[in-house]
Structure 1
Amino acid sequence: MTFLLQTTVGMLGNFSIFYHYLFLYLTRYKLRATDLILKHLTVANLLVIFSKGIPQTMAAFGLKYFLDDLGCKLVFYVHRVGRDVVIDATCLLTLFQVIMISPGDSRWAGLKIRAPRYLGTSSILCWVLTVMRSVLIPFYMTDKRNNTNIIVKADYDYCNAVYSGIITESLYVSLLLLHDGFCLGLMVWARSSMVFILHRHRERVQYVHGNTVSTRSSPESRATQSILVLVTTFVSFYSLSSIFQVCIILFDDPSWLLVSISALINGCFPSACPFILMNRISSVFKVLLSLDEERNTH
């Protein structure tokens, strides 16, 4: 029931965002620069939910043999592509925000004009690199019926991961840790930079206005809180996801509990993203752009 609830909520939320952008496209509404990244993020979320949430829910209800060998390879390959694109798209969004609010004398100033033009190319590049990076997945996945002359490494209830050699497993773990560690570290640095910029702006505003500043929460404070929620939620889920993925690969015959918790964690961010993070991303970007416009007027 937990997998079913998570999958249903995630599908409803992401399809709502998808239809929202489809409606804006059909009505020729001019989208913001960040909307392009959010569209790619929504598609990647749906891929994760379809390839992991639905099969895991079917397996939890007792269906074990609904995928053949090709189906297992395809489902796990699509899941890996969707998962990594979610990480890449969120990291790209964070970097774009840092560039757009950077002061005019910073090292990012030269990219502020060109950055919006490169968002489309950067998003497509994320997909291409992820598709190429995930080619190792099909080599160690097979269906439940194919149990002859193979060594089962891990049981995913509806598919099996087979032993594919020390070199292949070591290469896969290295690529996983390198990609996830780099993106998560870059996101933490970028979010920290935004918090620092907002803090400096708030101090400058307080110095200019003195004691006349309202006691209400300032836009900088609200944006800072949203940034902290974003980075904490995202980094927590995907750090745990990376740890569980590595444990499943390195352990021989990992327990059912470990596999199930890993699948549940992998679906948390894609399911919660439309309800919690999309609104915060939008509100943060509006505040950051307003600060940038205010800086340019002065």
Structure 2
Amino acid sequence: MGYSDVVVSVIFLSQTVVGVLGNSFLAYHYLMLYFVGCRLKFTDWILQHLIVANFLTLLCKGIPHTMSAFGLKVFLSDIGCKLIFYAHRIGRGVSISSTCFLSVFQAITISPNASRWTQLKVKSPSYIASCVYMSWVLSFVVNIAFPMYMTARQDNRNISRLRVYDFCSTVHLDKITDILSAIFLPIPDVVFMLLMLWSSGYMVCILYRHKQRMKHIHRSTFSFRSSAEFRATKTILLLVSTFVFFYTISCILQINMSLWHSPTSLWVNMASVVAAGFPTVSPFLVISN
């Protein structure tokens, strides 16, 4: 194993360990709050789903790629490749939907009482709770065809119809199927991203207008900056901006790899590191705020 392989394996291992520890700390924190009888906010309930999605993404990306970087290329069967990639796709889908619902719910929560969202404030928890559960079902359904084209990597196979990755391969059918998959599979992600960007922009506008009004109020007791709503809004905006950053880079890398029949190890490793970036960083953003 060369020097570059050692560096890559250390990066994957460190990212996986740090991410699992961060999400485990948050999971432990919420378990303790549950056992002592504390009443959690609705945003905390959505964050718990995000933690589960983070675990799926980290374990299904970090561990296999770490083993592959250490030189173990053929260690999964066809069923193993299908399950690993299917679970990763589910975790990825729930991650983007949970982040979106966090942003939408917080935008509704901090909206002015005189706005059109007044009636929705009361009903939003039940609506978004149903949407969170539906996002799990949607991820299971949308990605059900994805593992059908995953196979184990075997050097004795005819690879003319396979797109080879580090430890698994995908069956390359035809250009029409690839184009249809590229068009229809990202539709849920695009919808969630648009909702996320809209709600985040709406929150930024609300905070800016409030800040302008607060310039005329000198008593700090009325300051929204020290309130729980401001801290929650700041944390969610930070989560959203971090997610958009990693998701954009991941999409660029995925598009580049889809254009090649057999992507190089460098591109595959870069895409994997970026894909696990948000699940690794997000728990520490929540903890720090």
Q: What TM-score do the two structures reach when normalised by structure 2? A: 0.87
Distance 2:43 2:165 in 1: 36
**Residue in 2 that maps onto 1:129:** 138
**Residue 140 (structure 1) aligned with residue 135 (structure 2):** no
Unaligned ranges ≥5, structure 2: 1-9
Structure 1 residues 8, 152: CA separation in 2 closer, same or farther (over 3 Å shift)? farther
**Residue in 2 that maps onto 1:29:** 38
Distance 1:223 1:96 in 2: 11
**Contact between 2:161 and 2:173, CA under 8 Å: does it hold in 1?**
no
C-alpha displacement of 1:49: 0.6
5 Å matches for 1:58-77? 58-77=67-86
Runs of 4+ in structure 1 over 6 Å off: 220-225
Find 2:52's aligned residue among 43, 47, 51.
43
Give the fraction of aligned pairs with identical amino acids, expressed as a percent: 44
Q: Write the letter of the residue equivalent to 1:76.
A: F
Distance 2:156 2:214 in 1: 68
C-alpha displacement of 1:32: 0.9
C-alpha displacement of 1:150: 5.1
Q: Write the letter of the residue equivalent to 1:10.
A: G
**Residue in 2 that maps onto 1:291:** none
Distance 1:218 1:113 in 2: 24
Q: State the Cα RMSD in Å.
A: 2.5
Distance 2:141 2:83 in 1: 14
**Residue 204 (structure 1) aligned with residue 213 (structure 2):** yes
**Residue 12 (structure 1) aligned with residue 21 (structure 2):** yes
Q: Write the letter of the residue equivalent to 2:21.
A: L
Q: Write the letter of the residue equivalent to 2:60.
A: S
Distance 2:224 2:31 in 1: 35
Distance 2:156 2:143 in 1: 24
- 1:212-255 CA-to-partner distances (Å, cap 9, x unmatched) read 779x9944997786565433311110111122223222322122
Q: Write the letter of the residue equivalent to 1:190.
A: S
Q: Write the letter of the residue equivalent to 1:173.
A: A
- 1:64-123 CA-to-partner distances (Å, cap 9, x unmatched) read 111000000110011011011100100011000011111223222221001122333221
**Contact between 2:102 and 2:236, CA under 8 Å: does it hold in 1?**
no
**Contact between 1:152 and 1:253, CA under 8 Å: does it hold in 2?**
no
**Contact between 1:142 and 1:161, CA under 8 Å: does it hold in 2?**
yes
Q: Secondary structure at the match of 1:135?
A: coil
Structure 1 residues 22, 175: CA separation in 2 closer, same or farther (over 3 Å shift)? farther
- 1:120-156 CA-to-partner distances (Å, cap 9, x unmatched) read 3221111000110001211221001275355354322
Q: Secondary structure at the match of 2:215?
A: helix
Structure 1 residues 228, 37: CA separation in 2 closer, same or farther (over 3 Å shift)? closer
